[in-house]
Structure 1
Amino acid sequence: MRIAILSLPSRAIWLFSFLFLSVLLLTNPVSAADIEQFVGEYEGNADLIRADGSTEPRDMSVSIQETKDGFNVSWSTTIQKPDGRIKESDYSVDFLPSAREGIYSAAMTRNVFGHVVQLDPMKGEPYVWGRIVGDTMTVYSLFVSDDGGYEMQQFDRTLVDGGLMLEFSRLKNGVMERSVETFLQKQ
Structure 2
Amino acid sequence: MAAAVVMSGQAALADISRFVGEYSGSADVETRSGEISPRDMSVVIGETSDGYRVKWTSTTQKSDGRRKAKSYEIEFQPSGRDGVYAAAMKRNVFGHTEQLDPMKGEPYVWSRITGDTLTVFSLFVAPNGDYEMQQYDRTLVDGGLQLEFNSHRNGIPTRFISTFLARQ
**Given the alignment of the two structures, is residue 181 of structure 1 paired with residue 158 of structure 2, yes or no?**
no
1:109-148 correspondence to structure 2 within 5 Å: 109-148=90-129
Report the residue type matching 1:98 in the other structure.
S
Gaps of 5+ in 2: none
Is the 8 Å Cα contact of residues 49 and 56 (structure 1) preserved in structure 2? yes
Tell me, in whole angstroms, the C-alpha distance in 2 between the residues paired with 1:138 and 1:30: 19
- Aligned with 2:35 (options 54, 65, 71): 54
Structure 1: tracts of 5 or more residues without a match = 1-21
Matched, 1:26 2:5: yes
Please give the per-residue CA displacement for 1:81-127, whole angstroms capped at 9, x wherever unaligned.
Answer: 22323210011000000110000000000112211000000000000
TM norm structure 2: 0.93
Question: Rg bigger for which structure?
Answer: 1
TM-score (norm 1): 0.84
Is 1:170–2:151 an aligned residue pair?
A: yes
- Comparing 137-146 and 174-183, the one that deviates more: 174-183
Structure number with higher strand proportion: 2
Does residue 44 of the first structure (1) align with residue 10 of the second (2)?
no
Aligned-pair identity in percent equals 58
Q: 1:25 & 1:107 partners in 2: Cα distance?
A: 20
SS state at 2:14 partner: helix
Higher helix share: 1
